[in-house]
Amino acid sequence: MGEIEELVKKGQFLMSDEKFDDALGFFEQALLLDQNDPDLWNNKGVALRSLGRYEESMDCFNKSLEIEPRDKHAS
């Protein structure tokens, strides 16, 4: 499993444990490695939304859609 996948897996585990701020850190680290993956932007957006940071989360979801306009996972 690659570095990005490991970061996402850790972030998703933390999300399921409602540790949204910690999860956000892992998603941001993954984005430092690949800013062209719409799923990474979606993960970050979900974490931000869970933290009540709605405007920032919308920016992430919009970025995801810019990369992949037909992204069926964009929240």
Residue-range domains of the chain with CATH: 3-67 (1.25.40.10)
Q: What is the pLDDT of residue 69?
A: 86
Please write the tens of the pLDDT for every residue from 11-48. 999 999 999 999 999 999 999 999 999 999 999 999 99
Per-residue 3-state assignment (H helix, E strand, C coil) for the chain: CCHHHHHHHHHHHHHHCCCHHHHHHHHHHHHHHCCCCHHHHHHHHHHHHHCCCHHHHHHHHHHHHHHCCCCCCCC
Task: Check residue 39 and give its pLDDT.
Answer: 95
Token pair 């850190």: residue: 25
Tokens 């920016």 belong to 59
